[in-house]
Amino acid sequence: MNRKISDFMSYVLIMLGALMASFSVACILLPNDAIDYGTAGIAIIVSKLTGFNLSVCVFLIFLPFIIAGALILGKEFGIKAMVGSLVYTVGLAVFEEVPFELNIEHFLAVAFGGAILGAGLALILRQGGCIDGSEIFANILIKKLSSATGRDFSMTFILIIFNACVYITAFFLINRNSALLSLLVYVVASTVIDHFTDHFEAIKQVTIITKDPGELVKCIKDELNKTCTLMDSYGAISGENKTLICYINYFELSKMKDIIKRHKGTFSTVTTIDEILR
């Protein structure tokens, strides 16, 4: 029962975050000549250049990334991404019709809108969801690179390059002011997201202390396709233990927590890793 309530609240928070993001884009950013970043930014550029309905453009551009995410990153992630994206798309369509106007300077409006956008996206990310295709693309690319090289990679540079391409496109195809204001949106939103998710684009080190590591290691290998480093450890009260260290990305953290919950008698910590040297 507790698991069902937790899952239900997770989807409620994803929908709330998607509504916050869509409100920010439709009612604050777009009226003040700024755009969202990532694939949502691409959709807005396409809508502005072609005159097509914004919510339709957003959904059509999101859809391939969501399908790819479900196939490669798992069914649960795909469902959460689909729910968040649908609510975000519907929210855009609804909020575009809302007569809301923020009568302050563009700079302040964009900073405020970016903060609301970042808070909404952080809420979604903390529940293991995602509504931006750039993050799904970066995650898939990292999984492929990790499988091919056996190394762990951060999403930071992939996301920076992706969004740089979006803003360069906006700079030349829309106007310079829009591109620069949109860059401010990215900075503010990213700062808020990093604050609430502890740098979601970075590598995470999960340290698990347990007396029975065998089944835990097997589940991590089968469900996350990750290996672990095992070390002998000793607790002042618990006595002899095994310490497991595993490196994952933020989107795998939710699955890791589920695995740990199924194995009682463990003590775990999560640490953000800036760089791994080999």
Domain ranges in the chain are: 2-197, 203-273
Rounded-to-integer distance, Cα 12 and Cα 262, Å: 24
Q: What average pLDDT does range 44-57 have in this prediction?
A: 91
With 0.85 as the threshold, say if the pTM is over it: no
Q: What percent of the chain has pLDDT over 70?
A: 98
- pLDDT-derived band of residue 92, with 50, 70 and 90 as boundaries? very high
Count the neighbouring beta carbons within 10 Å of the beta carbon of residue 227.
12
Q: Which has the closest alpha carbon to 7: 195, 257, 212?
A: 257
- Asked if 37 and 165 count as a contact pair (C-beta separation under 8 A), the reply is no
Report residue 18's pLDDT band, with 50, 70 and 90 as the boundaries.
Answer: very high
Q: Are the C-beta atoms of residues 179 and 167 closer than 8 Å to each other? A: yes
Q: Does domain 203-273 have CATH number 3.30.70.120?
A: yes
Which pLDDT does position 13 carry in this prediction? 94
Q: Strand pairing of 229-235 and 203-210?
A: unpaired
Stretch among 4-13, 153-162, 185-194, 208-217 having the lowest mean pLDDT: 153-162
Decide: 195 and 225 in contact? Cβ < 8 Å. Answer: no
**Strand boundaries in the chain, DSSP class E:** 203-210, 229-235, 239-248, 267-273
Q: Which residue has the higher pLDDT, 157 or 188?
A: 188
Q: Is the pLDDT of residue 124 over 60?
A: yes
Pair 208, 177: CB distance under 8 Å? no
| Lowest-confidence region among 145-149, 189-193, 209-213, 226-230 | 145-149
Q: d(Cα 43, Cα 30) in Å, to the nearest integer?
A: 12
Region of residue 239 (left: phi > 0; alpha: psi -120 to 50; beta: else)? left
| Cross-strand bridge partners of residue 231 | 243
pLDDT at 15: 95
Burial of 234 (0-12, 13-18, 19+ CB in 10 A): exposed
CA dist 261 and 257 (Å) reads 6
Query: Which pLDDT belongs to residue 218?
Result: 92
Average of pLDDT values for 1-19?
Answer: 87
In this prediction, residue 21 carries a pLDDT of 94
Residue 1 clears pLDDT 70, i.e. is over it: no
- What pLDDT, on a 0 to 100 scale, did the predictor assign at position 244? 94
Q: What's the pLDDT at 278?
A: 67
Show the CA angle centred on residue 93, arms to residues 74 and 136, nearest 5°: 25
Two structure tokens written together for 54: 């914004």
Q: Do the beta carbons of residue 123 and residue 134 sit within 8 Å?
A: no
